[in-house]
Amino acid sequence: MNVGIVGASGYSGEVLVKLLLAHPRATLRAVSSRTHAGKPLVAVMPAVRGADRGLRFVDSDPVALAAMDIDLFFLALPHGAAAGFAKVLVPAGKRVIDLSADFRVADLATYRKYYGEHHAPELLPVARFVLPELTPPAWRQEAKLVAAPGCYPTSVIVPLAPLLRAGVISREHIVVNACSGVSGAGRKVDEMYLYVERAESMKAYGLLKHRHLSEIEEQLALHAGGPIVLQFNPHLAPMRRGIATTITVPAAAGAGLDVLYAAWAAAYANRPFVQMLPAGETPDTAHTIGTNRIDIAAAHDPRTNNFVITAAEDNLMKGASGQAVQIMNLWSGFEETDGLV
Amino acid sequence: MNVGIVGASGYSGEVLVKLLLAHPRATLRAVSSRTHAGKPLVAVMPAVRGADRGLRFVDSDPVALAAMDIDLFFLALPHGAAAGFAKVLVPAGKRVIDLSADFRVADLATYRKYYGEHHAPELLPVARFVLPELTPPAWRQEAKLVAAPGCYPTSVIVPLAPLLRAGVISREHIVVNACSGVSGAGRKVDEMYLYVERAESMKAYGLLKHRHLSEIEEQLALHAGGPIVLQFNPHLAPMRRGIATTITVPAAAGAGLDVLYAAWAAAYANRPFVQMLPAGETPDTAHTIGTNRIDIAAAHDPRTNNFVITAAEDNLMKGASGQAVQIMNLWSGFEETDGLV
Amino acid sequence: MNVGIVGASGYSGEVLVKLLLAHPRATLRAVSSRTHAGKPLVAVMPAVRGADRGLRFVDSDPVALAAMDIDLFFLALPHGAAAGFAKVLVPAGKRVIDLSADFRVADLATYRKYYGEHHAPELLPVARFVLPELTPPAWRQEAKLVAAPGCYPTSVIVPLAPLLRAGVISREHIVVNACSGVSGAGRKVDEMYLYVERAESMKAYGLLKHRHLSEIEEQLALHAGGPIVLQFNPHLAPMRRGIATTITVPAAAGAGLDVLYAAWAAAYANRPFVQMLPAGETPDTAHTIGTNRIDIAAAHDPRTNNFVITAAEDNLMKGASGQAVQIMNLWSGFEETDGLV
Amino acid sequence: MNVGIVGASGYSGEVLVKLLLAHPRATLRAVSSRTHAGKPLVAVMPAVRGADRGLRFVDSDPVALAAMDIDLFFLALPHGAAAGFAKVLVPAGKRVIDLSADFRVADLATYRKYYGEHHAPELLPVARFVLPELTPPAWRQEAKLVAAPGCYPTSVIVPLAPLLRAGVISREHIVVNACSGVSGAGRKVDEMYLYVERAESMKAYGLLKHRHLSEIEEQLALHAGGPIVLQFNPHLAPMRRGIATTITVPAAAGAGLDVLYAAWAAAYANRPFVQMLPAGETPDTAHTIGTNRIDIAAAHDPRTNNFVITAAEDNLMKGASGQAVQIMNLWSGFEETDGLV
């Protein structure tokens, strides 16, 4: 299978490049970038030196890309930009896995409230939000366009969805605190992201109406069978990669840790990329870096009757590019773990 | 005034040494350490080279220390060890500022539940927990022994105490997430604190019954006029110093940001070491490192009716040694900011 | 092919575990550790969670290991300890790749000067120091025991050996400065390696008679056809992995950059794991982390007539475990790059 | 004494602001910035919150600045920009301490070769390069304009100047390797200086003809009494502040460590900001951060007959702003250490 990456020069694009260059069943045929068109891949991404197969960046032109002998495209573009490529590539019969938010939110009004105008609303009916461990498998036949989940949302939806579905936790008073590595902001050249500004610095940011809320709450509502409104407090941590998420939520009446873990086990028992740690342990981002895993654990506080749920993942792997490859694997009938271990 | 530091070789001890060597009104006469007795200060603490005034470590022997011409001792010792020094130094007429937890919790049963046996309960009546901006000034005359607040507690009590007192926030559903730099664990030689383990790593730890809860809840109860039970989720962040604390708490009926800020202003308007940031901003640990400040800010989420309160401080300054010097200054009639700007 | 790792719980052991769990042609059958015998691999190495195949640590007992159905052992042990395992495993017909220094130095007197007593000198005749890109291939048939090069030595020998052999550089006034990440010290629990001590810290250490000098100079002498005595200045840099080495050496009479690059090209033109950067560029450790590459480049200073040669590698990959797997691949007739891309 | 800072929003400007706000004898009256004119100081530099005395940025207009009631200006501007301010402020009778390179190189031809056109060559005769521990004190009367040394040059000139003067070392085969924290590049918003690019990254850069060479070699020649041409290899290290410099140089005939240390002692014995470590120790940048010290040490390698000289400093203190304040202190008849301990 031939694959291409549109917008390959950002951080999630770079991880996609590395994963696909080493993938046993997909062949990376095209990497595109407006800025770097014409340059050798290795000039922009020296980390793949010697493994770059002589690839050069092509221009990010949707029509030209659609004409290439490529079966599946990954869109690693900013929100708003991806839709313009999807509206050319999907009608041309290409499979598309979009890593942006453009097709993650099914409700158009919600999308507009958080992101502004949508540039390809006509594709929403054929798009599927796919979190591989949670989305029922029919998408593998139905979808023409897959929206891969965001990094923060993955770290919230994976632990909470089975618990809301099973009624193990309250639907109210859910408080999510998440700490992300700096690559979560993308390769944005801004004073805020300079080494000297971020090293040894920890801070909350984007409180209230963070864009990812739209996706988190819409997805959780599907699992809960009713609306979910939660507090989402993102933080910037002095590290390159990783998200550590800590969720405090009241236990449902009578629900203990055994019930919680049983709900998780029902959803994830044999899934290689969701790992449950024993109660009492807490996942560490460092243990997930470079893997496609999300590690989850829970504790119960008898003083408050809250569950404290912790999750860790590599924001560029299970939180972005690794998960996108996992989606490609399932969509294409490959082993789920191909190229991911 | 002559001062001494018992247990000067840990991280808070080291910051105390630096502050006191440069203090305009106190003279550091003794630094003690069981491990380093006899060694030049500079051999253990090369950062003070050239400013060390030839000081050498003396043994941490309470009787010998009590016999020295020293007016005030700082105890920078582990919990449990400090009491044994206080019980000799206080009766000998020395002023004592204890940076450990030994005298922070007035209720002996609570202390025992969290820390085990208390080695000098007879001193509890003459000990005062002093958070300079909150404790009424009578302690300056009454106290013989001052317990300086811990780093996590300072970052929780400073923002919450005036709000509980003014009834601006709920007493329930308080969720505290705090991220601490690695020095918060002290100079503990343990695999967990190795550079390679902690760099690029973020994780929750010590969920449920963290020792600092005893102090946080006891103090908050005093301000609230009734018991407070909260969720406290500490995290270890890949940085040397700093604590960033994010508190989610429902607003009291009808309370908005203006009321919250008014309550803060009433408590802190002219206090140099508590700085209020405008709503919408969030404090950054990096901006507080090396200072004795705690920066606080708040946002109100109309979707959840929660306040999200953020605080940042240097865990070794306002969270430990800086605050201890601030206490010394007030106790001794110096300017509050002497040696701290 | 079945393989085992003796001393698998250190940093190079951990990287070996990850590489071998994912290797397409070798099967990891045993991991040993005195400290962790009996524990599940995942309990000690949570980063392999989900990929650990249920492995448990066995005791590091050479006789018991020799009895296992294992074809090849990696020794990831401290200097001095490896020889004791080799002297049992080699006679038992096992192939052994030793990552310690025990068999790197052919001259016993030199070994003793730098490391002390040798515990298996009788094996020196059947041991081969193998730097895959430089050692003539006869070792693949002859060796019973292979000494994998150290991290600093790889970063010095790879760039210098072809230049000394071709007479492109002076044999005198060679100055090597190298900066290593903290994992170079191994998982040593010592105050010096605590996060708070090493973060934001840069320093030279181990000047004069650094142990690796014995191996560097012996190897370079073989290529130069005469003794080499150089200045080797190692440094500790605030990062987890990586070595950046900068070598200043006078150009031989009449030799320019084209001659230098030609000598490199003759040695390395088609070798995937040695990459030459154009003159004027300088390699970056970050671009090599997680790969088995060493990147090298050179500049010529007309003011001094020196070459300034720069190299970067991942100290745990090309500098240790990756190179050991590369050696296994060549020894076993696998593709050189198997499990390494 | 009233002082002002032109270009106060860069990293050395920020350190100057902090030092001068706390200085016991100088009063900071003006901070200028083209970009931030009109904004409160604290809005741009939140680290001085509460200590900012209500200062606001004024425009960087030389004529308007010259009209202010200010005795001494610090120029914390890029190379090339400083001269334009000096040519207005100096004739207006203001003392000027320039932290840029504009007046560091006395030889105009050399300046042009490294930096391009000079915008105020007429001031070169009244300018003095002042390294306080080395420059004979007559400058305190003669100078109208002082060029403060650069960060790399300070770390090379301080250790080498007395040795060249005393003939303890060779004038040839001097090899300088220096590793700088990222703030050495200033607050430059460039992809190269993003957190994700620099964390965990170590690399050489700017080999050959680095701009600082002009200043280093001109100064060393003055002390050596003849031309010095050396190899200077700068590196970028993953830390915010600090420079670690390692110099390899052949010992002069018969010179040993005792002679070397005697030459240093003659120059620096009672100078608080140059500290000599015993032979065998090596300075650590972390021990100098926040201080105005440079720590130096030497070892002698009998195998090569080289001295290996190591130095560490805070690039923004002794390497820039701290040294500028030290110069102000001496120029103004204050204690050399005022505001610096």
pLDDT for C209: 76
pLDDT for C341: 87
Give per-residue pLDDT as tens, B265-292: 999 999 999 999 999 999 999 999 999 9
The residues of C assigned a catalytic role are 151
C289/chain A closest Cα distance in angstroms: 8
* A263 pLDDT higher than 80: yes
pLDDT for C22: 96
Chain B residues within 8 A of A181 when measuring between CB atoms: 200, 202
CA pair distance B140, D340, nearest whole angstrom: 32
Phi and psi angles of residue B71, each rounded to the nearest 5 degrees, phi first: -90, -35
Q: Are B83 and B120 in contact (CB under 8 A)?
A: yes
The domain spans of chain C are: 2-148+320-332, 152-313
CA pair distance D137, D335, nearest whole angstrom: 14
CA pair distance A21, B180, nearest whole angstrom: 39
| Two tokens, residue B265 | 């202003």
- Which residue of chain A comes nearest to B240, CA vs CA? A200
**Among D200, D285, D301, beta carbon nearest to C208:** D301
How many other C-beta atoms are found inside a 10 Å radius of the C-beta of residue B103?
26
Residue from B81, B97, B243 nearest B157 by CA: B243
- Mark out chain C residues that contact chain D at CB-CB < 8 A: 173, 175, 177, 179, 181, 197, 199-205, 207-209, 229-231, 233, 235, 237-242, 244, 246, 248, 282-286, 289, 299, 301, 303-304, 306, 308, 310, 312
**Among B50, B275, B286, beta carbon nearest to D50:** B275
Give per-residue pLDDT as tens, C167-208: 999 999 999 999 999 999 999 999 999 999 999 999 999 998
What's the angle, vertex CA B191, arms to CA B185 and CA B193, rounded to 5? 30
Residue type (1 letter), B112: R
Q: Which chains touch C (3 or more CB pairs under 8 A)?
A: A, B, D
CB within 8 Å: D312 and C246: no
User: What is the mean predicted confidence (pLDDT) over D314-335?
Assistant: 98
* C324 pLDDT higher than 80: yes
Fold agreement (B2-148+320-332, B152-313)? no
pLDDT for A211: 86
**Among B200, B233, B289, beta carbon nearest to A239:** B200
User: What is the mean predicted confidence (pLDDT) over D207-234?
Assistant: 94
**Among C50, C295, C341, beta carbon nearest to A51:** C341
User: The CATH number of C2-148+320-332 is which of 3.40.50.720, 3.65.10.10, 3.40.1260.10, 3.40.710.10?
Assistant: 3.40.50.720
DSSP designation for C226: S
Best residue of B151, B231, B306 to probe chain A, by most A CBs closer than 10 Å: B231
pLDDT for D269: 95
CB within 8 Å: B237 and A240: no
CB within 8 Å: B194 and C200: no
Q: Which chains touch A (3 or more CB pairs under 8 A)?
A: B, C, D
The answer to whether residue D179 is catalytic is no
D142/chain B closest Cα distance in angstroms: 30
Q: Are B44 and B9 in contact (CB under 8 A)?
A: yes
Give per-residue pLDDT as tens, B109-133: 999 999 999 999 999 999 999 999 9
Residue from A12, A53, A10, A52 nearest A35 by CA: A10
Give per-residue pLDDT as tens, D153-207: 999 999 999 999 999 999 999 999 999 999 999 999 999 999 999 999 999 999 9
Q: Could you tell me the pLDDT band of residue D94, with boundaries at 50, 70 and 90?
A: very high
Instruction: Output the CA–CA distances (angstroms, integers) from residue D244 to B22, C211, C236, in the order listed.
Output: 26, 22, 10
Best residue of C12, C190, C195, C315 to probe chain B, by most B CBs closer than 10 Å: C195
Tell which phi-psi region holds residue A53, choosing left (phi > 0), alpha (psi between -120 and 50) or beta: left
pLDDT for B140: 97
CA pair distance C162, C267, nearest whole angstrom: 7
Give per-residue pLDDT as tens, C48-76: 999 999 999 999 999 999 999 999 999 99
State chain D's maximal CA–CA distance in angstroms.
Answer: 62
Q: Is ipTM > 0.85 here?
A: yes
Mean of the per-residue pLDDT values for chain C? 97
D39/chain A closest Cα distance in angstroms: 17
How many other C-beta atoms are found inside a 10 Å radius of the C-beta of residue D170?
18
Give per-residue pLDDT as tens, D227-268: 999 999 999 999 999 999 999 999 999 999 999 999 999 999
* D334 pLDDT higher than 90: yes
Residue from C226, C248, C245, C228 nearest C305 by CA: C248
Give per-residue pLDDT as tens, D7-26: 999 999 999 999 999 999 99
B46/chain C closest Cα distance in angstroms: 12
* D209 pLDDT higher than 80: no
Give per-residue pLDDT as tens, B216-256: 999 999 999 999 999 999 999 999 999 999 999 999 999 99
B46/chain D closest Cα distance in angstroms: 6
* C103 pLDDT higher than 90: yes
Q: Is B50 exposed, middle or buried (0-12, 13-18, 19+ CB in 10 A)?
A: middle
- Which residue of chain B comes nearest to C186, CA vs CA? B196
Number of residue pairs across A and C with CB atoms under 8 Å? 48
Phi and psi angles of residue A319, each rounded to the nearest 5 degrees, phi first: -85, -5
For chain A, percent of residues with pLDDT exceeding 90: 98
Give per-residue pLDDT as tens, B28-77: 999 999 999 999 999 999 999 999 999 999 999 999 999 999 999 999 99
Q: Which chains touch D (3 or more CB pairs under 8 A)?
A: A, B, C
CA pair distance B42, C36, nearest whole angstrom: 39
Best residue of A11, A18, A49, A289 to probe chain C, by most C CBs closer than 10 Å: A49
What's the angle, vertex CA A83, arms to CA A80 and CA A86, rounded to 5? 155
CA pair distance D61, D88, nearest whole angstrom: 10
User: What is the mean predicted confidence (pLDDT) over A304-314?
Assistant: 98
| Two tokens, residue D275 | 């500290």
Element holding D18 (H helix, E strand): helix D11-21
| Two tokens, residue A203 | 């801070």
CA pair distance C217, A180, nearest whole angstrom: 46
> Which runs of E-coded beta strand occur in A155-273?
175-180, 203-204, 231-236, 243-250
CATH superfamily, domain D152-313, is Dihydrodipicolinate Reductase; domain 2 (3.30.360.10)
pLDDT for C211: 86
Residue from C191, C197, C7, C34 nearest C102 by CA: C7
Give per-residue pLDDT as tens, A10-25: 999 999 999 999 999 9
Q: Could you tell me the pLDDT band of residue B209, with boundaries at 50, 70 and 90?
A: confident
D302 Cβ neighbours under 8 A, 6+ residues apart: none
Residue from B335, A52, A25, A340 nearest C293 by CA: A52
Q: Which chains touch B (3 or more CB pairs under 8 A)?
A: A, C, D
* B314 pLDDT higher than 80: yes
Chain C residues within 8 A of B200 when measuring between CB atoms: 240
Residue from A213, A252, A261 nearest A114 by CA: A213
Instruction: Output the CA–CA distances (angstroms, integers) from residue D168 to D135, D217, D252, D321, in the order listed.
Output: 20, 18, 5, 31
CA pair distance B256, A171, nearest whole angstrom: 24
Best residue of D170, D196, D202 to probe chain C, by most C CBs closer than 10 Å: D202
Angle between helices C321-331 and C11-21 (to 10 degrees): 40
pLDDT for D341: 87
CB within 8 Å: A288 and C51: no
Adjacent-strand bridge partners of A307:
A249, A300
